[in-house]
Chains A and B, each alone.
Chain A
Amino acid sequence: MPTIQRSALQPIAVPQTRNTLSARKRFSQENLMKILFVVPAGLYIALFFGYPVVKNITMSLQEYTTRTFFTGEAPWVGFENYVTVFSSNLFSPALLNTALFTIGSIAGQFAIGLALASFFKRRFPLSNFLRSMLLLPWLLPLIVGSATWRSILDQDSGILNRFLEAIGVIQDPVPWLTSPAVALTAVVLVNIWVGIPFNVTILYGGLQDIPDELYEAAALDGATGWKAFRHITWPNLQPVVSVVLVLGVVYTIKVLDIILGLTNGGPANATQTLAVRSYQESFIDFEFGVGAAYSNVLILISLLFAIIYLRANRRAVDE
């Protein structure tokens, strides 16, 4: 407070008129200082985001293997790594699994997330506390979630099979993570569990932003319950919905922790996705060139959705 009073008393014009030359010098110095504020972040982003993207492109055009680390040689091979990727009999299953994993996860997360967000929109005792506790699965390390679900989904002694048998839904224990027929479903279920809190949070925020007056006006016209949802909630929620869905895609296609922790891409490659392929080519088989080619396919898909996201986000901001 005293600083403001003092500065108000001093005529600001005096130092400026005294000499414009040093003022200009100070001005350019000031601009230099301002740029220094962003230099560290700019350097970091260039080195840890820009460089990897460029490096993945060059790597994918090279024969980059363990030998490279000893000899320093990485011969250029043109598009050979991409040929390896696209002709691999694991590529189309991995692409299909990536799509199924992403669509399944997002459909589940979104539906349950929207239901819970609508539920918590009614204010009741403890609603805020319960809603924030709901964030917990999202804040835990994903590998912790994987370990826990490994124990829950265990075929012989896992609590899920024991529970389903006890209530008579199944006769024989389901080999959740060991049968190629159900492993992808199990992995999707776990990923839905992980993603619900994020969906609830963002959708709840979107629901809060819809003005109450709209509902009051609709109620006068007799639109309540489902009708109000269809004609008021859903159209007004559109921008937030697009943001949630697109961000969901971008975050889900790159998931590694959950799949590696639950199944390691198995059984019989049933849970191989593009991200898992990229990891295994690079860090299990030490074929960094092929791994990078897989990464670039992943980046291309992400980029596509990033563009959709930015357009959706701009619309959300505009409205």
Chain B
Amino acid sequence: MTTAAAIKLRPESHKKATGSRQPVHPGLFTALGVVFLAIMLFPIYWMVNASLQPSGNTLTAGLFPTNPHFGGYETAISQQGRNLVTSLIVSVGTVLFSLAIAAPAAYALAQFRFRWINVALLVILVSQMIPGIVIANALYAAYNDLGLLNSIPGLILADATHAIPFAILILRAFMIGIPPSIVEAARVDGAGLVRAFFSIVVPISRNSLITAGLFSFLFSWSDFLFALTLTTTQDVRPVTLGIYQYLGSEVSNWSAVMATAVLSSLPAIVLLLIAQKYIAAGATGGAVK
């Protein structure tokens, strides 16, 4: 596509710019792009670099970890290993719960002719804008009565507030394009609404389900507010809260903090590298539509 357009355009642009400007070598743009990216990602490089420095409360890190120490990682894993596992369990739970709630709703809002669809979409859009602290204020009191403070189910339910509205909108944007005839064909064959949903809609929507799932995971993994407000003991403690407590007023062991930060960044880094397609789809689709 791109090359075809470029070839088509070339004669005209040659006629226009008769040697007035040398065409810029595309490699130059790539080089410039790499420079921009390097500036933007420098803090992340610095985090990795600092995590490999000898432990201590000062940061005398050189530009490169020429003599890498892994003491920070040893401390991080011994002190935060459990919290990382907690984060992982909560995040996976949030993905499963959010998709289970969001997928049928998204399908209904995309394909069934309800009269109140626009109202429902409006409610979902607005719910995304409610500040998390509002939810935390109310949930703390409710969770206190229900015994959900310091519990994994409590965190999953709360973290799903980050994920469910987003997942419904992303999934609906895809499911609106499913031709109703495919589902109808199965219905005529005797499949119920539920069976048609699981045997036809879910497999077709695989890619958008992956996108919604990945983002639900990242949202929940990044959650700090509910970790901060809905846990009060050491028992159930997501790693984001672990980092916050390291930060305290005075940081005593920078390499351990940075090593924990690197470990908590791994899901985002890995997913961006191996599932770029899905991440890009979610980044554009969720915000505007």
B280 CB within 8 Å of chain A: yes
Q: Is the CB of B222 within 8 A of A142?
A: yes
A-B pair number, CB within 8 angstroms: 301
B109 CB within 8 Å of chain A: yes
CA distance A313 to B288 in the complex (A): 8
Q: Is the CB of A41 within 8 A of B288?
A: no
Main secondary structure on B side of the interface with A = helix
Q: Interface size class for chain B?
A: 35 or more
Q: Is the CB of B36 within 8 A of A205?
A: no
Q: In the complex, which residues of chain A have a beta carbon less than 8 angstroms from the beta carbon of B105? A: 37-38, 40-42
Main secondary structure on A side of the interface with B = helix
> Smallest CB-CB separation from A262: which chain B residue?
B247
Q: Is the CB of B33 within 8 A of A127?
A: yes
Q: In the complex, which residues of chain A have a beta carbon less than 8 angstroms from the beta carbon of B122? A: 310
Q: Is the CB of A295 within 8 A of B60?
A: no
CA distance A47 to B160 in the complex (A): 12
Which of B16, B27, B43, B271 has a CB less than 8 Å from the CB of A149? B43
Q: In the complex, which residues of chain A have a beta carbon less than 8 angstroms from the beta carbon of B271? A: 139
Q: Separation in Å of the B139 CB from the closest CB of chain A?
A: 7
Which of A45, A136, A150, A292 has a CB less than 8 Å from the CB of B272? A136
CA distance A42 to B106 in the complex (A): 11
Q: Is the CB of A147 within 8 A of B127?
A: no
Which of B32, B137, B157, B223 has a CB less than 8 Å from the CB of A52? B137
Q: Is the CB of B101 within 8 A of A135?
A: no
B164 CB within 8 Å of chain A: yes
Q: In the complex, which residues of chain B have a beta carbon less than 8 angstroms from the beta carbon of A12? A: 188
Known: A137-B40, A283-B140. 17 other contacts (CB 8 A): A49-B127, A55-B137, A56-B137, A116-B36, A124-B30, A126-B34, A130-B37, A141-B240, A141-B268, A142-B222, A144-B47, A150-B247, A256-B224, A282-B137, A292-B137, A295-B137, A299-B131
A residues near B, CB below 8 A? 3-4, 6-7, 10, 12, 30, 33-34, 37-38, 40-42, 44-45, 48-49, 51-53, 55-56, 59, 64, 68-69, 116, 119-120, 122-127, 129-130, 132-152, 154, 156-159, 193, 196-198, 201-202, 205, 212, 216, 219, 240, 243, 247, 250, 253-254, 256-257, 260-261, 275, 278-279, 282-283, 288, 291-292, 295, 298-299, 302-303, 305-306, 309-310, 313, 316
